[in-house]
A and B are shown apart, each in its own frame.
Chain A
Amino acid sequence: MGFQPVKFYQTGTFTVGNRLLTPDERSLQSDEGRSNSINSGHRACQGCGEALGARYAIDAAVAGSGGQLIAANATGCLEVFSTPYPESSWQLPWIHSLFGNTAAVATGIAAAMKVKGKTDIRVVAQGGDGGTTDIGFGCLSGMFERNDDVLYICYDNQGYMNTGVQRSSATPPAARTATTMTVGSAPGNVFGQGKNVPEIAMAHGIPYVATATVADLRDLEYKVRKAMTLHGARYIHIFVPCPLGWGTASNDTIRMARLAKESGTFPVFEAEYGEVTGVLKIRHQLPVEDYLRPQKRFAHLFGEHPHTETIARLQLMADRNIRKYGLLNVNNATSDDAIFDARPPLLNPLPEGEEVKERPREFHITGREN
């Protein structure tokens, strides 16, 4: 099937609203000519953060590769909802092999491209947090260590959602899952466990590591585009809320991602060769409680007898992130200028001598209080 331009039906969405910006400032998603790599009609849940994140990321990667991209996909929600054969949503060459071997499969594809002299064809691997931080971790670390020419994207929804919401090593403390039940003296997932894979990726000294959320589209696109300009092993960890697993409203997916970032729960940063080179500052700091409260997986922390101590521990974790990554601008945390200074450059920098007349306006979703 030949390329079909994307039709925007929901003209009021923020994505499409980007078209009010000058062309240089628009997101790729607002471009009718984007590849729409994961086509509509797939079977993801309403409000699926992973479906959104995958489309944002893979469209950007396709653009960054000049349309020369091959994807390897781990078993998981993304694989299942996108491909009950012959209903594949994928508009690019795509392979699913197993749950735990995606990084290695991608290595094989990259090796094949290299040996055939097709170095213009780039390779992306993708999986959920289970396929990345748990079962696929050995192959991921091997791919990193060899610095294979693969961009690995993890869509982190903090659990095994495909099998019915079980705990992964990316599940946060206190969260309810099917295997961290809200019973006993310490309900939900335990504290002091879990794996920070972006930092582990950095420890491999690979050229590029970044985190992103589906709430910051242009930041996400910028990071994928940047990763595509580099060679060697690259890793992007995208925070993708899961309405089903988290017990959040399906129209709150972007908001939940925004709250995770604004509360410091999920630090958004980028790093090159193991060193942090940029962070997305918190615009309006919010207590972690604001992020926890709308989620049914944390409902046991609230109610008649709130677990204030547990909430405080989660706040401490966010505070540590804020300190560690410098997520707050010390001088003037609410100044728009300060925030934009910390933002990554725009996707398509203007020719020298020209200046952006007006700063792109951010949407203050966090202003929507309960």
Chain B
Amino acid sequence: MLKQIEGSKAVAEAIGLCRPEVICAYPISPQTHIVEALGEMVKSGALTPCEFINVESEFAAMSVAIGASAAGARAYTATASQGLLFMAEAVYNASGLGLPIVMTVANRAIGAPINIWNDHSDSLSQRDSGWMQLFAETNQEAVDLHIQAFRLAEELSMPIMVCMDGFILTHAFERVDMPAQQQVDAYLPPFEPRQVLDPAEPVSIGAMVGPEAFMEVRYLAHAKQMQALERIPQLAAEFKQQFGRDSGGLVRSYCIEDADTVIIAMGSILGTIKDTVDEMRAQGHKIGVLGIISYRPFPLEQVRAALGNCRRFLVLEKSLAVGMGGIVATDVRMAVTGAGLKGFTAIAGLGGRPILKSSLHALFRKAQLEDLPPVTFLDLDWEVVNKQLARERTTRRSGPVAENILYDKGIVSAKFG
């Protein structure tokens, strides 16, 4: 059914259609609307049977989900940013124990400086946590990925983060085709756990494992994600068959067949990139786009194949490997090792900095001309950066960096002291 609906609300409705049994909620922007909507569904009786638990922290949210999942319940939570970091120990634990929890990450920057706006620093910080990470381009895809995520997580008995850009998607009202309950029921069978806490058949879960078996357990986590590389396209195909639309998969390409330059990105920015590419193509530029939907597992083969015909690529990412450059770019470079391609990285949109089409035009043109440094910081205000660097050279007590930058930008009109 077509609806004009807020992204968070749409995701909440999709989660409801997946019949979760335990939902743990702790507020953090910008995911809060999702659990608020779910809480209302549970309290009103629209979603039943389901336990909605207001926990005292994200650490508890993931821990309650761990307990619920280990006891055989379909468990869900949502978080972002600092919340994801606060639960990090339990995030690793959930995957280590092989518990198929599904979590929405409403992607948001990590402080300090504290910042509530969108980038991908949060979920990418959990890159090696053993969770799969699927990135939605639109709210429709966010809805659809959640349905696929429960199916995949439970098949493999491994947890999944469905990542959607905070505010840009979570708070955007747009048209979403909401699936019917019968459709979701037909696609997503009830949860049959591989391991369960049951007095009729007692098991010990989470026992200590020494050097004699630890590597095998870790390898199997990797093997599960390698299986996911096979299953994700199959599940997307099955989804298309039953729901009638393309959603999910490992990667999605756009105009790459004849492209000499391919722009690679994840999440909602793909829309702006495609618009830019359309305009550049109208001007005769041979440029294409590769969207990465499955960040973990990372589809090395599919990325390599998609870049098979181009001469250069630019990874535009909303994340920064401080001291190195790009996070996603590193994986892409790994995928094209030995292919002889010229690769560039653009760090863009950190902390919600708008990524403008005009900036993308200029950036993509330079990429085509191979007139870029290895790492570009898109729309960085060099003037204030250099001013701060100069200040630090001359003054020992140069003060808090973020405050200085705000002052130099004229956002803070007066400075004390």
Contacts of B205 in A (CB 8 A): 93-96
**Contact call B199/A112, Cβ cutoff below 8 A:** no
Measured CB to CB, the closest approach of chain B to A107, in angstroms, equals 5
Q: Which of A107, A121, A141 contacts B199 (CB 8 A)?
A: A121
**Contact call A104/B71, Cβ cutoff below 8 A:** no
**Contact call A108/B21, Cβ cutoff below 8 A:** no
Q: How far is the CA of A106 from the CA of B53 in the complex (A)?
A: 13
Q: How far is the CA of A91 from the CA of B199 in the complex (A)?
A: 9
Measured CB to CB, the closest approach of chain A to B3, in angstroms, equals 28
Interface segment among A79-87, A230-238, A359-367: the answer is A79-87
Check A105 for interface membership: any CB of B closer than 8 A.
Answer: yes
Q: How far is the CA of A131 from the CA of B63 in the complex (A)?
A: 14
Measured CB to CB, the closest approach of chain B to A109, in angstroms, equals 4
**Contact call B56/A83, Cβ cutoff below 8 A:** no
Measured CB to CB, the closest approach of chain A to B320, in angstroms, equals 29
Q: Which of A88-104 contact B (CB under 8 A)?
A: 88, 90-98, 100-101, 104
**Contact call B204/A138, Cβ cutoff below 8 A:** no
**Contact call B65/A108, Cβ cutoff below 8 A:** yes
Q: How far is the CA of A80 from the CA of B206 in the complex (A)?
A: 11
Check B369 for interface membership: any CB of A closer than 8 A.
Answer: no
Q: Which of A105-135 contact B (CB under 8 A)?
A: 105-117, 121
Measured CB to CB, the closest approach of chain A to B340, in angstroms, equals 47
**Contact call A84/B207, Cβ cutoff below 8 A:** yes
Q: How far is the CA of A109 from the CA of B63 in the complex (A)?
A: 10
Check B18 for interface membership: any CB of A closer than 8 A.
Answer: no
Q: Which of B55-92 contact A (CB under 8 A)?
A: 55-57, 59-60, 62-73, 75, 89-90
Interface segment among B208-216, B243-251, B288-296, B303-311: the answer is B208-216
**Contact call B203/A93, Cβ cutoff below 8 A:** yes
Interface segment among A16-24, A25-33, A68-76, A294-302: the answer is A68-76
**Contact call B70/A98, Cβ cutoff below 8 A:** no
**Contact call B202/A94, Cβ cutoff below 8 A:** yes
* Nearest-CB residue, chain B, relative to A62: B199
Check B51 for interface membership: any CB of A closer than 8 A.
Answer: yes
Measured CB to CB, the closest approach of chain B to A226, in angstroms, equals 21
**Contact call A67/B22, Cβ cutoff below 8 A:** no
Q: Interface size on B (CB < 8 Å)?
A: 44
Chain A CB count within 10 A is highest, among B21, B53, B67, B69, for B67
**Contact call B202/A115, Cβ cutoff below 8 A:** no
Check A343 for interface membership: any CB of B closer than 8 A.
Answer: no
**Contact call A90/B202, Cβ cutoff below 8 A:** yes
Measured CB to CB, the closest approach of chain B to A347, in angstroms, equals 22
Q: Which of B160-183 contact A (CB under 8 A)?
A: none
Q: How far is the CA of A96 from the CA of B199 in the complex (A)?
A: 16
Check B54 for interface membership: any CB of A closer than 8 A.
Answer: yes
Q: How far is the CA of A112 from the CA of B22 in the complex (A)?
A: 7
**Contact call B22/A97, Cβ cutoff below 8 A:** no
Q: How far is the CA of A97 from the CA of B203 in the complex (A)?
A: 14
Measured CB to CB, the closest approach of chain B to A75, in angstroms, equals 9
**Contact call B73/A101, Cβ cutoff below 8 A:** no
Contacts of B206 in A (CB 8 A): 73, 95-97
User: What are 17 A-B interface contacts by the 8 Å CB criterion?
Assistant: A69-B199, A70-B197, A79-B208, A85-B204, A90-B202, A94-B203, A97-B67, A98-B89, A101-B59, A105-B64, A108-B53, A108-B63, A109-B71, A110-B67, A111-B51, A112-B75, A115-B21
Given contacts A101-B63, A110-B67, A111-B21, 10 further A-B contacts (CB under 8 A): A85-B208, A95-B204, A97-B63, A97-B206, A101-B59, A101-B60, A106-B67, A109-B67, A115-B51, A139-B57
Residues of B whose CB lies within 8 Å of any CB of A are: 21-22, 24, 49-51, 53-57, 59-60, 62-73, 75, 89-90, 93, 97, 197-199, 201-210, 213
List 7 tightest A-B contacts by C-beta distance, closest first.
Answer: A108-B67, A142-B56, A104-B63, A112-B71, A101-B63, A112-B73, A96-B206
